[in-house]
Chain A
Amino acid sequence: MNRLILSLSTALLVLVGCGTPAAYKDPNGRDLVVSLDQVNIQDFASAGAAMLQSMSNAPVLNQQPPAVLKLGTITNDTTVNFDTSLLLSKLTVPLVNSGRIVLLESDMAADAARQAQGAEGQVPQAQLVLKGKILEDRANAGSTRQASYVFQLTLVDVKRGVALWTEEKIVTKQGTKNTVGF
């Protein structure tokens, strides 16, 4: 009888399974999911923070009045689909909010406003364009998988067509399976 109860209990325990209830996490914390097959939110934060630190030391971002920046194309050359503004916002938000740059909006509303001002209006022109590329490199050794994501950004002077700042940041993750935390 006891053996039957024990067997039933074990079977029930297996059926119930091991699960962790969903909970809110600090997006800048250390216990986020680390995936080997995709770029995680903390990867954008890490790359963006490193890029921001490097970019803020560029002489062109230390001038007054602040330069007018236009966002160029960020090519996603990885196998994963994501919005590249996840990276760009890590740079533009602190730079705009601290007054280090003026960001030229290029949406329909901004274009309409510029048209309404006409030729005599004080329409700001982009002095700088931020462009870049995100690449991916994968390698395996037995069951160990490694994924590297390469973030490349360049700040181009529009008038002269030369790069005033360029930086590369590589985020590498290695393991046999996805995990939580780092």
Chain B
Amino acid sequence: MLFVGCSTIIKVGDQIERAATPPDAVNYVTTKPDGNYEVQLNDGRLAEKLTIISLRKFKNQGGYLQVQCELKNSSALRQDFNVSFEFLAADGRVIEGQRNWDTLQLEPGALHTYTATALRFEAVECRLRFLAK
């Protein structure tokens, strides 16, 4: 035990903590060809804090796809949300996206409009990714 050192203790502690709390699951909101959107919440904790009010998609002046997602912190505490996005072609391929997470800090009840613009003409749908802090 002594020679094993602290790393094992930390690893065991981490495993216990992970077992006691739900995992950080990524959540998705995806636009659909008919103009609607599909919400896929895999993390129950986020469902209690984040409300997707709307997800609009349109073409900007250059003809590139742009989406605007209106979010609300529906909890009673200030929350940090992490957002990222991917753009999809008509055949479902992911053609571009932002891999790093944007951190949004929202006060209770605060609304925020998150905007993402595609760089390629082929982008026709957008998949927003959300992660709780």
- In chain B, residues 97-129, which have Cβ atoms closer than 8 Å to a Cβ of chain A? 98-103, 115-117, 119-120
* Closest CB in chain B relative to A9 CB, distance in Å: 6
> Contact flags (1/0) for B30-64 with A, using CB distance below 8 Å?
00000000000000000000000000000011111
Which of A21, A53, A100 interacts with B7 by CB under 8 Å? A21
Is A98's beta carbon under 8 Å from chain B?
Answer: yes
Size range of the interface on B? 20 to 34
Interface size class of A (residues with CB under 8 A): 20 to 34
Q: Is B131 an interface residue (CB 8 A)?
A: yes
Among A19, A62, A95, point to the contact of B60 (Cβ < 8 A). Answer: A62
| Nearest chain B CB to A63 CB, angstrom units | 8
Asked whether B70 is an interface residue with its Cβ less than 8 Å from the other chain, the reply is no
Question: If the complex has contacts A17-B5, A18-B5, are A53 and B117 also in contact, measured as CB distance less than 8 A?
Answer: yes
Per a CB cutoff under 8 Å, which of A13, A42, A56 touches B64? Answer: A56
| Given known contacts A16-B2, A16-B6, A56-B117, A49 and B61 CB-to-CB distance under 8 angstroms | no
CB atoms of A28 and B117 under 8 A apart: no
12 contacts between A and B (CB under 8 A): A9-B2, A13-B2, A17-B6, A21-B7, A30-B82, A30-B101, A46-B100, A49-B98, A56-B119, A62-B61, A98-B96, A100-B119
Interface of B with A (CB < 8 Å)? 2-3, 5-7, 10, 60-64, 66, 82, 96, 98-103, 115-117, 119-120, 131, 133
- Closest 5 pairs (CB-CB, A-B): A62-B62, A18-B6, A98-B119, A28-B99, A45-B100
Q: Which residues of A contact B (CB under 8 A)?
A: 9, 12-13, 16-21, 28, 30, 42, 45-46, 49-50, 53, 56-57, 59, 61-63, 94-95, 98-100, 182
